Amino acid sequence: MSGLLYKDFLLVRKNIVTGLFLIAGGVLFAIIFILGMNIGNFQEIKELPDVYNLFFKGTIFMVCIGGVCTALTSSSSIEQDYKAEWYRVLYSSPINIWQEIFSRYILAFLVNTIMCAWAGVLIPLVYMAGNENFGLAQMKTVIYCWLVGMLAILIRLPIDIVFSAKTSVVISCFLMGVCLIVFFIWLTCEQEVENIITSVIGWLNWIYDHGIVVVLGVVVTSFVFSYLGKRNRRWA
Amino acid sequence: MALNYAANNAIEINNLNKSYKDFELHDVTFQVPSGQVTGFIGQNGAGKSTTIKAILNMLKTDSGDIKVFGADNVEAEFDIKENVGVVFDDIGFHPNLKPKHIDKILKGMYKNWDSEVFFDYLDKLALPLNKKVKDYSRGMQMKLQIATALSHHAKLLIMDEPTGGLDPIVRNEILDIFMEFIQDSEHTIFLSSHIITDLERIADNIVFIHKGKILLAEPKDTMAERHGILKCSKEQFATVDEEDVIGYRKSSFGIEALVGDLGKCRIKYEGMFCEKTSLEEIMLFYVNNTQI
């Protein structure tokens, strides 16, 4: 299985490097902007707490989401495998379906973890630049994003594994579209922005508190779907 | 299930059936003797690749059983694949990989992978180490595939059109590698090919498949000894027993017919001209006969 992991890593290494630079770039931009607020006309922005908070926390959130998106691109190795007809090599070698599936998950988890860890290392710099307190509570954003990344991978990978690359993109876009529509309807029905934020934080807290249960449940379901789909697709 | 390398047959296929919408393998039965080269011939779409995929458990068969080194190909799939080198007509490696990457990848996939052997083959086949797969010519890609198939100490080589689309010099080089591989009495080769001259050069046995059915499966020498061309006029041909003739065609001199027992026909049809023929002619007559 280490061979498969190495192969997948080679295929997505450019994505990883891009992701690392993306996060570093986001952090650098935030630091420059925050430090710049202390001079010139930007001083006024700092005195508007809502704007400042939105920018400050928004940047951190975007940095973390950048990591999650990079982790999701790790599934591009599946598409590259199809293009190269890698399955001829794979299915004539002594590798079983479980090893094949595990290697995909391990790579995606590793990329997600690397990205979040990198964000976790750089984000304190943003807090330092803004003279804000930084502790474990502030790291929650990174942990949330790591959890969201894991969930996104667990949902996306079975789709990528079971279907071809094109179909998988269509299904993923469809699912994302449905989620966005539901989210949009909810936003328009809910008048109080504070309620929305409280609800989202509540959900994230619930996942955070019941992390093991949620992750185990989704992992098992995701693996079962991947295995069943792969087993049938293998004969195609 | 333990593999038996001393078994008489490296591969045994019995009554293999597989149906698709527009094609079927029908009761495919043949053996690939250990320590020999067996050529698998047939037209495009005759069922060669389907049979090879069935041997490798890459497709689900409807019925029949396949044994490799005496073990069931499904039950002992991974033990078998550890000892089988496979070459397809197209390379399955990603275009941006280099040989050093392929070495590391396959090292993590095969227990018996031998990097030293792999790099020795690359050196012997003059394959550049620093070039990417996409920059290799077709001949080089085939050589790379063969090097990977031989670098985990495989005892059986299964190849699907390994020399297709290659120039005669590269084909010759590749055939030399096969000849070197088969020098070890434990090694067996099973290869499909359109190029009958290649098989005439290296194969000990021939299996001929046509429209999903095995028409011939026997040693090449027996096949060449047994078959012959009977040349005669139309009037003489009318006196020939139908059961002696496999296929016939009209020529400028009259009729040329393929007979299945050359010795018998030489005695039986004294006034007619009987001679040995090539493997290619035999195949053509078999195919045309089934088309009549």
Domain ranges, ordered by start, for chain B: 9-217, 227-291
| Residues 59-78 in B contacting A (C-alpha not used; CB under 8 Å) | 59-60, 77-78
Q: What does pLDDT average to over chain B?
A: 87
Pairing of strands B213-219, B205-210: antiparallel
**Gap between the Cα atoms of A13 and B229, Å rounded:** 63
Could you report the per-residue pLDDT of B63-92, keeping only the tens digit for each? 999 999 989 988 888 899 999 999 988 888
Give the per-residue pLDDT at A48: 67
A&B contacts, CB < 8 Å: 73
Shortest Cα–Cα distance, A4 to chain B (Å): 6
- Closest-approach residue (CA) in chain B for A2: B108
Residues in chain A whose Cβ is within 8 Å of chain B: 1-7, 10-11, 80-81, 84-96, 234-235
Q: Which two tokens stand for residue B65?
A: 């059983």
Contact between chains at B105 and A95 (C-beta distance less than 8 A) = no
- Across B35-52, average pLDDT: 90
- Closest-approach residue (CA) in chain A for B134: A84
Q: What percentage of chain B reaches a pLDDT higher than 90? A: 35
Contact between chains at A84 and B95 (C-beta distance less than 8 A) = yes
Could you report the per-residue pLDDT of A49-67, keeping only the tens digit for each? 666 666 767 777 777 777 7
Could you report the per-residue pLDDT of A114-168, keeping only the tens digit for each? 888 888 888 888 888 777 777 777 777 778 778 778 877 888 888 888 776 677 7
Contacting residues for A120 by C-beta, under 8 A, at least 6 apart: A139, A142
Residue scoring higher pLDDT (A61 or B141) = B141
| Structural fold of domain B9-217 | Rossmann fold (3.40.50)
**Gap between the Cα atoms of B156 and B158, Å rounded:** 6
- Banded model confidence at residue B98, pLDDT cuts 50, 70, 90: very high
Task: Please name the member of B92, B108, B110 whose beta carbon is closest to the beta carbon of A4.
Answer: B108
Burial class (CB in 10 A: 0-12, 13-18, 19+), A195: exposed
Give the per-residue pLDDT at B124: 87
Find out whether A70 and A18 touch, Cβ atoms under 8 Å: yes
- Closest-approach residue (CA) in chain B for A87: B92
Interface test with B, best of A2, A11, A88, A234 (most B CBs within 10 A): A88
- Across B250-254, average pLDDT: 78
Residue scoring higher pLDDT (B99 or B260) = B99
Contact between chains at B60 and A235 (C-beta distance less than 8 A) = yes
Chain A partners within 8 Å of B56 (Cβ): 91-92
